[in-house]
A and B are shown apart, each in its own frame.
Chain A
Amino acid sequence: MNSLRIEEHPVLSFERGEKITFFFNGREIDAYPNETIAAALHASGVRKLGESPVLHRPRGLFCAIGNCSSCFMIVDNQPNMRVCVMKVKSGMHVEEQKGKGELELIVEN
Chain B
Amino acid sequence: MLINDGIPTKEDIVKVTPSDERFAEGPVVIVECFQEIPCDPCVKACKRGAITMSGDINALPVVDYTLCNGCGNCISLCPGLAIFVVDKTYSDDFALVKLPYEYVPVPQAGQRVMALSRAGEELGCYEVVRVTTGGKKNMTYTISLAVPQEVVMEVREVRYTRNGS
Chain A interface residues toward B at CB < 8 A: 8-11
Contact = CB atoms under 8 A, between A and B. Distances in A.
Interface residues of B, number: 6
Contacts of A8: 104-105
Contacts, number: 10
B102 A11 contact: yes
Interface string B101-140: 0111110000000000000000000000000000000010
Contacts of B139: 10-11
Interface in B65-90: none
A8 B105 CA distance: 8
Nearest to B105: A8
Nearest to A9: B104
Nearest to A11: B139
Interface string B94-105: 000000001111
Given A8-B104, A11-B102, 8 more contacts: A8-B105, A9-B104, A10-B102, A10-B103, A10-B104, A10-B106, A10-B139, A11-B139
